[in-house]
Amino acid sequence: MAYVLLGLAIAAEVLGTSLLKSTEGFTRLWPTVASLSAYAVSFLALSTAIQKGLQVGVGYAIWSGLGTTLIVTIGALFLSEPVTPAKVIGAGLVVAGVVVLNLGGAH
């Protein structure tokens, strides 16, 4: 159950971050409400996943790492952001870090 909540937290965080550009600096009401609501759902789901037994360090690493990697991908596919070698290497290092944390004592 904790990992299902973590998945929800990641999806909500990615949605909230994806909407940031459309808020135009929080000057557009509905995109702002949607973005902030998505972040609220994300934090609630993450905190509940941790309360259900997920280790804080591992949960946060997965949440932030996968969120970052997904946002880089969404930026490239849908927001016309360039894919640079530095972005690819950075995303790879983030994923590697999450894997190492999980192998090093998550279970």
Measured between alpha carbons, how far is 94 from 25 in angstroms, rounded to an integer? 28
pTM score, whole prediction:
0.87
Instruction: Quickly state the pLDDT bin for 107 (edges 50, 70, 90).
Output: low
Question: What pLDDT, in 10s, does the model give residues 33-89?
Answer: 999 999 999 999 999 999 999 999 889 989 999 999 999 999 999 988 999 999 999
6-19 pLDDT, tens digit each? 999 999 999 999 99
Q: Is 83 helix (H, G, I), strand (E, B) or coil?
A: coil
Contact between 23 and 35 under an 8 Å Cβ cutoff? The reply is: yes
